[in-house]
Amino acid sequence: MALMLIAGIFMLYFFSPMMSPAFLLKFNSGRRMSPNEAPQLYKILQVFSQRAELTRLPVLFYLPTDSMLAFTVGTRDNASIAISGGLMRTLSQQELTAVLAHEISHIRHNDTRVMAFASLAGNFTRLLSVFGQFMLLVSLPMILLGQLVISWPTIFLLIFSPTLSSLMQLALSRTREYNADLSAVELIGDPEALASALVKIEKIQKNLARRLLWPMIPRIPQTSWLRTHPPTKERVRRLLEIRDYEQLNNPYSYGARAIQYQIPVYRALVDMP
């Protein structure tokens, strides 16, 4: 078990950075967009990267799908952002800018590396659980003969530890999403743009789910602690609270800061098709 843990950490630190984000995205039918092909989007990335103090500009990839997708792969020093065609065609200029700010925030706080550690811990926990249950099965004759005394709380912890680990990993993912929303507001200076994008994405995804499911199948709501992302309603509520708090405490400062942050970004989007 110790050797497997060392090997897992070794692969995470030395093998994962060598796995190019471009290779992973091309493997998923992604196509790299050059700065000449999407100059406005790269201008936005350059503005946000400077504000986030990134040492390297992320690379944009286009996903040929109508699904509303945007995600980040790689590390802070070698990151790529994937945007689907459906997202680019559906969102407005301000909303698309807010989504890019959200993804830049993930890179800024190295969330991909954090979630990689969480995934490694979860996989190792599941491995230890399977190994422990196997050893328990092998020791079952000795337990029945009374030659071995076991601790039942330990057995229950052994069985349910993978489930607990998965729930903790999901909770960490939701926390990082909240943090990325807040950081995106700091980058763009406009909470309403990101809130509007989240509402529109949620609405389109729900409509797509309804078309795919049969009419006779009832909609079963997903429990909040089983989500990888927080509920959209809660994310939007927090974003609007930021707006209301800033406007209530210093409306002139908020408006000036919003204009200061938005103009360079929106100006780069004026000619975007």
Alpha-carbon torsion (155, 161, 163, 167), positive or negative: positive
Cβ neighbour number for residue 74 with a 10 Å cutoff: 23
Query: Can you tell me the distance from the alpha carbon of 228 to that of 177, in angstroms, rounded to the nearest whole number?
Result: 9
- Whose tokens are 């529109």? That residue is 200
Known catalytic residue at 103: yes
The runs of H, that is alpha helices, within the chain are 2-10, 21-27, 39-51, 85-90, 93-108, 111-138, 140-144, 152-188, 191-212, 232-249, 251-269
| Catalytic option among 103, 192, 202, 241 | 103
Angle at CA 131, nearest 5°, toward 128 and 135? 135
- Residues marked active site are found at 103
